[in-house]
C-alpha cells in the first residue's frame, strides 16, 4: 500500500509499505477515503520539533472498516467511520469524564499514520465514530465536513466548550488558521451573539465571516486589545478561544477577557513559560488542552454536520492526491492553503 513518511526537514514522500495487520484485539484495519494535513504536522516539517525519519504521518481521516480485532464489537467490517486522533479507550477515568484526549491507556503509538491507503487504528471499539451509510451516499462537500470531525472541528469546539460559551455571549477568537476559523463556527453553533475574529488575512477573514464572525480585528498586541475593548464598550469578551499557542496570542486573549470570563486554549503551547499574574488580577480562567474528539462528535458535531447546520469542510481550500502529499505540505507551509485535503479513494 501507499503511505506517507517523513524523510527530513521540509520533505515527506509516499512509499510502498506492507499493509497493516491487526496486532491487538482492540485494533481495526481501515481503508482511508480522505485525510489531510494538520497545522501541528508543520512543526516537524519545519524542523521545530523532532520526528524520526521513516515514520508514517498524519492523524486526521475518514474511512471504511475492513477488519476488526476480537475485542471490537461497536464497529464491524463495512462501517463508514471518523477516525479521531485521540484513540480513547472509553474505560479510564479521563475517558469516562469526557476527556479522552488525556486517555491514560498507552495508545498514542498504537496506530499507523493516517496519510495512507490503510491504517491500523488502536482502541477502535470505543473511539471510532460511525457515520450512517457509505462514502458514496455523501456529496464531495459533505465528505469534507465529515473529515473535519477527526480533529480540527472537534478541537475548535473543545476551545468553545472549555471557554463556556453561552447563547448571547460576545466571543473573541484568536487565530485565523483552520482551528481558529472552526472556532468561529463553534461559537456560532453554541449561540454566541457577537463573534470577534482576530485575523489579518483577507481570504481567511471571508471564511470567518461566512462561519458567523460579526467583527474582524486585524491588529496585534496592545492595538488589538484596544480595538476589542472599544468594540465591547470597554467590557471585554464573555469568552475567548485561543487557537494559536504563541505567547502574544495567549497574552492578548487574557487581556481582552472580561472579569469572570474563561479563555479556552487549544493552540499548542510554543513557549513553556507564561506569566499567569494577569489571570489572577483580572479573575480570568484558563482551560483547555487536547480535544475530546469522540465525545463531541457523538454528542453534537456529527449530527450538526448531517443536518447541514455547519460546514467545517470549507477550511479545506486546496486538494491533492496522495502522491502529491509533498505539495500538500508545502501549500500549508507557505500559507497558500488554509488546510490541505488528501483524496485517497
- pLDDT tens string 127-143: 999 999 999 999 999 99
What local confidence, expressed as pLDDT, does residue 106 receive? 61
Residues of the chain with pLDDT > 90, as a percent, come to: 91
Percent over 70 (pLDDT), the chain: 98
Q: What is the mean pLDDT of residues 76-92?
A: 96
Using pLDDT thresholds of 50, 70 and 90, give the confidence band for residue 185.
very high
- Residue 157 is predicted with a pLDDT of 98
Task: Give residue 108's pLDDT.
Answer: 53
| Reported confidence tier of residue 268, pLDDT bands at 50, 70, 90 | confident
C-alpha 236 chain-centroid distance? 26
Domains of the chain: 2-151+292-343 (3.90.180.10), 155-288 (3.40.50.720)
Q: Of 318 and 248, which is predicted with more confidence?
A: 318
Res 107 pLDDT > 60: no
The mean per-residue pLDDT over the stretch 5-10 comes to: 96
Mean pLDDT, residues 16-45? 95
Confidence bin at 167 (pLDDT 50/70/90): very high
Q: Please state, rounded to an integer, the average pLDDT across all residues of the chain.
A: 95
Q: Residue 338's pLDDT band (boundaries 50, 70, 90)?
A: very high
Average pLDDT estimate for 280-309: 96
Pairing type for strands 237-242 and 257-265 reads: parallel
pLDDT of 258 reads 97
**pLDDT value of position 189:** 98
**What pLDDT, on a 0 to 100 scale, did the predictor assign at position 252?**
95
207-264 residue pLDDT tens: 999 999 999 999 999 999 999 999 999 999 999 999 998 889 999 999 999 999 999 9
Task: Determine the pLDDT at residue 198.
Answer: 97
Residue 173: predicted pLDDT:
98
Determine which of 31-35, 100-104, 157-161 has the lowest per-residue pLDDT on average.
100-104
Q: Is the pLDDT of residue 112 over 90?
A: no
Amino acid at each position: 500500500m501507499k503511505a506517507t513518511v517523513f524523510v527530513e526537514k521540509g520533505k515527506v514522500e509516499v512509499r510502498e509499505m506492507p499493509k497493516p495487520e491487526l496486532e491487538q484485539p482492540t485494533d481495526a484495519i481501515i481503508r482511508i477515503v480522505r485525510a489531510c494535513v494538520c497545522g501541528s504536522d508543520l512543526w516537524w516539517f519545519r524542523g521545530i520539533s523532532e520526528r524520526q525519519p521513516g515514520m508514517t504521518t498524519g492523524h486526521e481521516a475518514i474511512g471504511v472498516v475492513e477488519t476488526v480485532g476480537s475485542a471490537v464489537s461497536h464497529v464491524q467490517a463495512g462501517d463508514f467511520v471518523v477516525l479521531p486522533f485521540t484513540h480513547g479507550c472509553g474505560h479510564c477515568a479521563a475517558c469516562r469524564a469526557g476527556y479522552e484526549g488525556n486517555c491514560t491507556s498507552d495508545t498514542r503509538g498504537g496506530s499507523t499514520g493516517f496519510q495512507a491507503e490503510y491504517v491500523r487504528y488502536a482502541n477502535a471499539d470505543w473511539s471510532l465514530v460511525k457515520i450512517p451509510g457509505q462514502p458514496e451516499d455523501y456529496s464531495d462537500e459533505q465528505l469534507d465536513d465529515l473529515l473535519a470531525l477527526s480533529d480540527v472541528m472537534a478541537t475548535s469546539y473543545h476551545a468553545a466548550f472549555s471557554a463556556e460559551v453561552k447563547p448571547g455571549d460576545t466571543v473573541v477568537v484568536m487565530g485565523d488558521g483552520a482551528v481558529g476559523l472552526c472556532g468561529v463556527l463553534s461559537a456560532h453553533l453554541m449561540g454566541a451573539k457577537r463573534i470577534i475574529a482576530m485575523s489579518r488575512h483577507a481570504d481567511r477573514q471571508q471564511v470567518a465571516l461566512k462561519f458567523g464572525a460579526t467583527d474582524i480585528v486585524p491588529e496585534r498586541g496592545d492595538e488589538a486589545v484596544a480595538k476589542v475593548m472599544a468594540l465591547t464598550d470597554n467590557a471585554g469578551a464573555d469568552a475567548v478561544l485561543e487557537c494559536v499557542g504563541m505567547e502574544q496570542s495567549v497574552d492578548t486573549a487574557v487581556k481582552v477577557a472580561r472579569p469572570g470570563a474563561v479563555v479556552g486554549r487549544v493552540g499548542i503551547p510554543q513557549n513553556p513559560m507564561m506569566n499567569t499574574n494577569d489571570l489572577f488580577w483580572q479573575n480570568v480562567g484558563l482551560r483547555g488542552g487536547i480535544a475530546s474528539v469522540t465525545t463531541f462528535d457523538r454528542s453534537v458535531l456529527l449530527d450538526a454536520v448531517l443536518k447541514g447546520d455547519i460546514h467545517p469542510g470549507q477550511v479545506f481550500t486546496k486538494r491533492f492526491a496522495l502522491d502529491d502529499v509533498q505539495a500538500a505540505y508545502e501549500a500549508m507551509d507557505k500559507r497558500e492553503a488554509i488546510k490541505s485535503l488528501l483524496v485517497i479513494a
